[in-house]
Amino acid sequence: MPWLIPRGLAAALALLLFLSAPARAQEYEALLPGLAGGFAQQAETVERLGLLGDPRAIPLLQAMADARLLRLADGSLAPQQGATPPEGATLIRINNRVRGALRGALGRLQLVSPDPAERSRAAEGILRNRSAADIPLIEAALAREAQPPIRARLELALGGARLASEDVAVRREGIAALGASASPEARGQLLAARAANAELLPDIEAAIAAIDRRLQLRRAAETVFQGLSLGSVLLLAALGLAITFGVMGVINMAHGEFVMLGAYTTVVVQELCRGIPELAPWSLPLAVPAAFLVTAAIGAAMERGLIRHLYGRPLETLLLTFGVGMILQQVVRLAFGAQNREVISPDWMMGTLLLPGGVAVTQNRLWIILFALAVLLACFAAIRLTRFGLEMRAVVQNRRIAATMGIRTGRVDAMTFAFGSGLAGLAGVALSQIDNVSPNLGTGYIIDSFMVVVFGGVGSLMGTLIGAFSLGLLNKVLEPYAGVVLAKVAVLVGIMLFIQRRPKGLFALKGRAADQ
């Protein structure tokens, strides 16, 4: 919005006129050394710079907040340019207290900035560091602001600032403004104001009640999201098993280690991309096919080399794959070290996204839900639409007849197992975004995955989907009442009882195939 710039500048100038220019400049110069003092002095200086309103402070304060402000050898302050500070310069360190003051000061200084993102941050900063002195500033900013989300924040900030006013009538206005929102911060401010406002107590209680009504729905929505998120993690971890165990009947105790290998592939891809600036932001999407291929290849090798000798003896494959899991875990530990490996999240996966209705969802988990669904769809497509899927289904239904029709059953077995292992690798890519990347990564998921597959019904992808999401939701609904551990125990006992009622799970295969 280009028209904002001149008006914004004009407003800044108008603010500057409150003080006589030379005196202000002098005070500005006098304040600056305080930025290099102790934390208490720093915080006070920052606050005063914010109130002073000299725009020259903005780059300095911003640099300070980003830990880039240097004290040069001659004692002057300057933001750091380039990667290494010049000779004799020291970095100015801050702490949380200074950081909080910086946010408020930058908020005051940037409230009239031409950049909407900066104005939005500024409104947020003022909301958290409000004082009655900010009322004219916010009112001026509100009069100019055209963007609804920033206006909403400014109005909240104004409400907060009014709540801090001396005048009862102004405070009452502030309470009404805060009560009209659905903001937890507003609720917190109202709660905090109760003690000092005995005469306004009924207004405050009413405002809090109004916010609570609005928040209730949102909380329910957030619980559902948490459940879906847990469900999507379970789904990803279990999909590979749904193929190897559900379709082929192989109990792959090394499944968790395949997940772990997928996560380590992500680490390796990221390391490789680090050298190439164009690729670096894309390392995570690139890791998806890489992880699939790596784990699928290892899976195929394992099937051809070991597992195929044990078909029809599922319990022995359990022991064999347990041994393989031990080996894989230790090999990774020796190759990569026992420590956690860092996986950088791309910016589009960090932070929170506000859905309509104010429901806050974390971006990484949202992406994982979408990714899980995409992988599931791809699975369906691979099984239903491709030649490989057709052959796979044929071999599962009747191996001998499939063989007489010219299907190379051995190759199909290898490919099916590779497919399942590749899916585990994909789970590893997703889990690298929320969990530790360490050699133990897989062990935590193996039992849950088996539970999901058995609960959903062995051999049914639909069952795995429904199973994963219903277990995730159930867990998250129980959690606030029973606590994390008991919720999980309750879910496990529930599954045991359910299996007892329906031994073949939610979606049992019917017909002859079910009896094998």
Strand pairing of 77-79 and 90-91? unpaired
Instruction: Please tell me whether residue 484 binds other proteins under the rule CB under 8 A.
Output: yes
Q: How far apart are CA 359 and CA 225, in angstroms?
A: 9
Is there binding between residue 439 and other proteins (CB under 8 A)? yes
Q: Does 457 bind other proteins (CB under 8 A)?
A: no
444 touches other proteins (CB under 8 A): yes
Which of 297, 344, 382, 394 touches other proteins (CB under 8 A)?
344
337 binds other proteins (CB under 8 A): yes
Nearer to other proteins, 370 or 381 (CB): 370
3-state secondary structure 441-504: CCHHHHHHHHHHHHHHCCCCHHHHHHHHHHHHHHHHHHHHHHCHHHHHHHHHHHHHHHHHHCCC
Site membership for other proteins, residue 350 (CB under 8 A): yes
Residue 217 lies near other proteins (rule: CB under 8 A): no
**Smallest gap, in angstroms, from Cβ of residue 483 to other proteins?**
8
| Least distance CB 25 / other proteins (angstroms) | 30
Sort 96 into a burial class: Cβ within 10 Å, 0-12 / 13-18 / 19+.
Answer: exposed
Binding-site residue total for other proteins (CB under 8 A)? 100
How many Å apart are CA 291 and CA 268, to the nearest integer? 10
- Chain residues 379-418 in contact with other proteins, contact rule CB under 8 A: none
Report if residue 280 touches other proteins, rule: CB under 8 A. Answer: no
Told to check if 272 binds other proteins by CB under 8 A, we report: no
Instruction: Please identify which residue in 113, 265, 295, 433 interacts with other proteins, judged by CB under 8 A.
Output: 433
Question: By CB under 8 A, is residue 196 in contact with other proteins?
Answer: no
Tell me how far, at minimum, the Cβ of 85 lies from other proteins, in Å: 14
Sign of CA dihedral 397, 402, 404, 408: negative
Smallest gap from residue 496 Cβ to other proteins (A): 6
Nearer to other proteins, 194 or 384 (CB): 194
How far does CA 8 lie from the centroid of its chain? 35
- Least distance to other proteins from the beta carbon of 230, Å? 5
Binding residue (CB under 8 A) for other proteins from 80, 89, 116, 128: 128
Say how far apart CA 310 and CA 328 lie, in whole Å.
Answer: 20
Query: Minimal CA–CA distance to 141: which of 246, 24, 29, 11?
Result: 11
Listed in sequence order, the residues at least 6 apart from 479 whose beta carbon sits closer than 8 Å to its beta carbon are 487
Return the residues of window 30-49 that contact other proteins according to CB under 8 A.
39-40
Cα–Cα distance measured from residue 158 to residue 138, given in angstroms and rounded to the nearest whole number: 6
